[in-house]
Structure 1
Amino acid sequence: MASILKMQEKFISKAIASIMLHSADLFRVNLDSVFTLIPSVIDSLEVILLSKDLKIK
């Protein structure tokens, strides 16, 4: 996920924004394989939350 985010241009895609918005539902279902997504989600959240002028592309 983090590779799709373009930090230097301060843009994220609508798909990433939607995934981040609905990712709580993914973790709520308690599937074993969903835990492999946690590092990518955390990296993406750090990029999104630390950037002030973020625009959705």
Structure 2
Amino acid sequence: MTQTLVELWPIISALAILAAGLISFRSEVLLRLKFLEEKIKTVFDLLNKNK
């Protein structure tokens, strides 16, 4: 059991680092989308205000 854990440790740690990176990337993308939605909403509000 211990030998198997020692052999799998690099794979387990790589998967953990990959998961952390993917979560970070996803949160950054969601933040950018939220920012873009706010800009689009502002543009439409300004266009509707002028009508």
Scaled to the shorter chain, the TM-score interval is 0.3 to 0.5
Structure number with bigger Rg: 2
Which structure has greater strand proportion?
1
Higher relative contact order (CA 8 A, sep 6+): 1
TM-score, normalization: structure 2?
Answer: 0.38
Which structure has greater helix proportion?
2
TM-score, normalization: structure 1?
Answer: 0.35
